[in-house]
């Protein structure tokens, strides 16, 4: 556990991650608080029916907008796209606050709130797909996801609490004004990251074409130019073609259906069953937020785990059963405790699903995959909110909790096998996969591609003073150091020293040139070798991996020249 806490602490010590996570926290506050403000405004105007309809109308545009805008994250620097989403939210939320202060017609207020909610839906997919770019290892990525989950869960707590306080002080307009201010802060937090972001090329623009460039130009997986519909549908195609990814997305989507349902059920519980006033909706929702924070923190136990499928399925079942239990809870205290339990399951489910999707989806479509997921989640949230009035009318208020909650375990029964087997590996390849994920140029590769590389690895045992690569020889393999230390020399001079997790041999493969350095084992060492064809094939369909590889080649060649 201490080691896991150390990994999370490293997230806060990294300036880029610290800025991204801080911005995400204020984003989460704005999302949850404004959502509560609109629900309260609509509920006070027309009860559960109007609140449910408005929730559906407010979220429906995101089903299309989120995948479309998220596609920009696979085309342009994701940090800059993320900055744009925060600025857009700040402007629209400020406009909604002004409309509320000016007692504008409800139709205008709902229209502005809908635009704000649509802008909110754009942030999550870009943030999720940006994290793998700025972390150093798979464990760091899981830790960053844990921190993001904690930030989002904290938002689900402080958002409703803040909404309750602000509504009491100045009405819904105060909530939107605070959220707009928060997004200004978030914009400033990521501004520096956005300025330093580099565009990821769709092709490698180098003086002489290499095998990698030629393969990339011929690959049907790579799109060198914007291709409208194909670009926008890329995320949907990636999800549909992989049953494991499809199953994870299904669970994440239905879990969000329950989020939408609970937004209305919080009002039912607070106003009708417990007899509280409008601010009580936020207070009741805060208990779910407390549980979500605990669940997100508990996701620390996922750090370092190669197998996440079982944990995801179990946490989703906990989430659904916690909600269903409210139907038979004998009083307010057990109901509150079950809200916390459901929140724990929700927090664990969110972190597990995001981490699994990052593993299964290739970087070249990751923003679009998360965009499709966000669109599905927003649509599911809207349907969940719309379904509650129907459920209440059909089965009553208490039974509505049971029907809604038990729907998620039913989904687990339908797709659970694909989720559980989604990250199942041959135990003999687990260490290889872990090392490959830690190599920067290979980290953006999708889970299936990395698994193929892990299966193709040829272990090589070296005795002390053994030369594995000689300057001027033909390059036929890429190597990752599994154990031991090696010296890299150019024209007899040492230029660097390699240890566990380091990689070498890519220059000859990417540039199609003879070996540019000699690599010799200092002591006994173990290397994992990947043959030329497998290495180039893996990088062909992944623009970001190709760019990282090409940039690394340039940097190493420049460094070697400078030493001479």
- Give me the pLDDT at residue 225, please: 46
Predicted confidence band at 550 (pLDDT cuts at 50, 70, 90)?
low
Predicted confidence band at 403 (pLDDT cuts at 50, 70, 90)?
very high
In terms of residues, how long is the chain?
A: 564
- Is 3.20.20.70 the CATH classification of the domain at 427-562? no
Distance between CA atoms of residues 437 and 441, nearest Å: 9
Q: Give 423-459 pLDDT, tens digit per residue.
A: 555 555 667 777 887 787 776 665 666 777 777 788 8
Weakest mean pLDDT among 350-354, 419-423, 434-438: 419-423
Distance between CA atoms of residues 199 and 178, nearest Å: 33
The pLDDT of 94-108, averaged and rounded, is: 89
Distance between CA atoms of residues 383 and 60, nearest Å: 9
**Alpha-helix residue ranges (DSSP H) falling in 171-278:** 172-196, 211-218, 228-241, 243-267
- Give me the pLDDT at residue 277, please: 66
Whole-angstrom CA distances from 171 to 93, 95, 427, 535, 562 are: 14, 15, 57, 59, 64
The pLDDT of 275-285, averaged and rounded, is: 69
Which sequence spans correspond to the domains of the chain? 2-420, 427-562
Predicted confidence band at 212 (pLDDT cuts at 50, 70, 90)?
very low
The pLDDT of 359-386, averaged and rounded, is: 79
Q: Is pLDDT at 402 greater than 80 in this prediction?
A: yes
For residues 132 and 363, the answer to whether their CB atoms sit within 8 Å is yes
- Give me the pLDDT at residue 209, please: 42
- End-to-end CA distance of the chain, in Å? 46
Pick 208 or 386 by higher pLDDT.
386
Residues 6+ apart with CB under 8 A from 208: 511
To the nearest whole percent, how much of the chain has pLDDT over 90? Answer: 16
Nearest Cα to Cα of residue 34 among 204, 177, 137, 198: 177
- Is 3.90.1150.10 the CATH classification of the domain at 2-420? no
- Give me the pLDDT at residue 491, please: 85
Whole-angstrom CA distances from 313 to 148, 204, 381, 417 are: 20, 41, 20, 9
Tokens standing for 265? 């059920």
Chain-centroid distance of CA 386 in Å reads: 27
Chain-centroid distance of CA 231 in Å reads: 20
Pick 225 or 24 by higher pLDDT.
24
- Give me the pLDDT at residue 200, please: 44
Pick 9 or 31 by higher pLDDT.
31
Write the DSSP string, 491-541: TTEEEEEE-TT-EE-HHHHHHT----SEEEESSSEEEEEEEHHHHHHHHHT
Nearest Cα to Cα of residue 35 among 181, 123, 167, 146: 167
- Give me the pLDDT at residue 196, please: 72
Distance between CA atoms of residues 118 and 262, nearest Å: 20
- Give me the pLDDT at residue 275, please: 65
The pLDDT of 241-249, averaged and rounded, is: 88
How many Cβ atoms from other residues are within 10 Å of residue 86's Cβ? 28
Kindly calculate the radius of gyration of the chain based on its CA atoms and give it in whole angstroms: 25
The pLDDT of 4-25, averaged and rounded, is: 76
Distance between CA atoms of residues 18 and 151, nearest Å: 12
Buried b (16+ CB within 10 A) or exposed e, 50-81: bbbbbbbbbbbbbbebbbebbbbbbbebbbbb
Weakest mean pLDDT among 420-424, 484-488, 549-553, 559-563: 559-563
- Angle of helix 243-267 versus helix 228-241 axis, rounded to 10: 90
- Give me the pLDDT at residue 53, please: 77
Q: Is pLDDT at 386 greater than 60 in this prediction?
A: yes
Q: Is pLDDT at 562 greater than 60 in this prediction?
A: no
> In whole numbers, what is the pLDDT of the chain averaged over residues?
78
- Give me the pLDDT at residue 219, please: 37
How many Cβ atoms from other residues are within 10 Å of residue 561's Cβ? 9
- Give me the pLDDT at residue 304, please: 58
Q: Is pLDDT at 320 greater than 90 in this prediction?
A: yes
Q: Is pLDDT at 290 greater than 60 in this prediction?
A: yes
Q: Is pLDDT at 409 greater than 90 in this prediction?
A: yes
- Give me the pLDDT at residue 549, please: 57
Pick 346 or 227 by higher pLDDT.
346
For 170, the 3-state DSSP assignment is helix
- Give me the pLDDT at residue 205, please: 38
Buried b (16+ CB within 10 A) or exposed e, 490-525: beeeebbebeebbbbbbbbbbbbeebbbbbbbbeeb
The pLDDT of 526-541, averaged and rounded, is: 78
Pick 50 or 395 by higher pLDDT.
395
Largest CA-CA distance found in the chain, in angstroms, rounded? 82
Chain-centroid distance of CA 380 in Å reads: 18
Weakest mean pLDDT among 217-221, 322-326, 448-452, 464-468: 217-221
């Amino acid at each position: 556990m201490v080691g896991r806490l150390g990994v999370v602490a490293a997230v806060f010590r990294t300036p880029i991650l610290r800025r991204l996570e801080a911005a995400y926290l204020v984003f989460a506050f704005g999302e949850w608080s404004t959502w509560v403000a609109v629900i309260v405004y609509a509920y006070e105007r027309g009860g559960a029916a109007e609140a449910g309809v408005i929730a559906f109308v407010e979220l429906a545009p995101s089903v299309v907008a989120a995948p479309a805008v998220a596609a920009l994250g696979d085309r342009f620097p994701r940090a800059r796209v993320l900055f744009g989403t925060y600025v857009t939210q700040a402007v629209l939320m400020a406009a909604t606050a002004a409309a509320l202060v000016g007692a504008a017609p409800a139709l205008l207020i709902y229209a502005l709130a809908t635009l704000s909610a649509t802008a909110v839906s754009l942030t999550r997919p870009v943030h999720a797909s940006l994290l793998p770019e700025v972390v150093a290892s798979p464990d760091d990525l899981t830790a960053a996801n844990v921190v993001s989950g904690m930030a989002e869960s904290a938002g689900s707590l402080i958002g409703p609490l803040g909404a309750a306080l602000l509504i009491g002080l100045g009405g819904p307009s105060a909530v939107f004004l605070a959220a707009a201010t928060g997004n200004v802060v978030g914009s400033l937090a990521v501004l520096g990251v956005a300025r330093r972001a580099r565009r990821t090329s769709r092709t490698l623009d180098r003086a002489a074409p290499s095998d990698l460039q030629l393969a990339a130009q011929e690959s049907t997986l790579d799109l060198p130019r914007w291709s409208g519909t194909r670009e926008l549908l890329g995320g949907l195609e990636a999800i549909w073609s992989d049953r494991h990814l499809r199953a994870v997305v299904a669970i994440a989507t239905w879990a969000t259906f329950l989020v939408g349902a609970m937004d209305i059920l919080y009002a039912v519980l607070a106003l009708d069953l417990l007899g509280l006033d409008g601010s009580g909706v936020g207070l009741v929702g805060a208990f779910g937020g407390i549980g979500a924070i605990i669940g997100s923190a508990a996701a620390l136990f996922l750090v370092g785990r190669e197998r996440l499928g079982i944990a995801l399925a179990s946490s989703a079942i906990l989430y659904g059963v916690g909600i269903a239990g409210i139907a038979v809870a004998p009083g307010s205290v057990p109901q509150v405790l079950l809200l916390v339990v459901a929140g724990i399951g929700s927090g664990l489910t969110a972190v597990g699903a995001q981490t699994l999707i990052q593993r299964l989806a290739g970087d070249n479509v990751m923003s679009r995959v998360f965009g499709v997921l966000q669109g599905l989640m927003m649509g599911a949230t809207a349907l969940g909110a719309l379904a509650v009035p129907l459920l209440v009318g059909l089965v009553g208020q208490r039974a509505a909790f049971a029907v809604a909650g038990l729907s998620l375990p039913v989904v687990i029964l339908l797709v659970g096998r694909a989720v559980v087997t989604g990250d199942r590996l041959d135990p003999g390849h687990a260490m290889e996969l872990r090392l490959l994920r830690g190599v920067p140029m290979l980290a953006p590769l999708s889970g299936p591609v990395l698994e193929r590389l892990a299966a193709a690895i040829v272990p090589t045992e070296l005795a002390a003073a053994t030369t594995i690569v000689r300057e001027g020889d033909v390059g036929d393999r890429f190597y990752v150091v599994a154990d031991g230390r090696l010296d890299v020399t150019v024209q007899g001079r040492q230029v660097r020293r390699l240890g566990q997790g380091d990689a070498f041999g890519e220059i000859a493969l990417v540039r199609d040139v003879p070996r540019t350095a000699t690599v010799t084992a200092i002591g006994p060492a173990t290397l994992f070798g990947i043959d030329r064809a497998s290495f180039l094939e893996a990088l062909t369909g992944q623009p970001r991996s190709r760019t990282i590889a090409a940039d690394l080649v340039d940097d190493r060649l420049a460094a070697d020249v400078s030493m001479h």
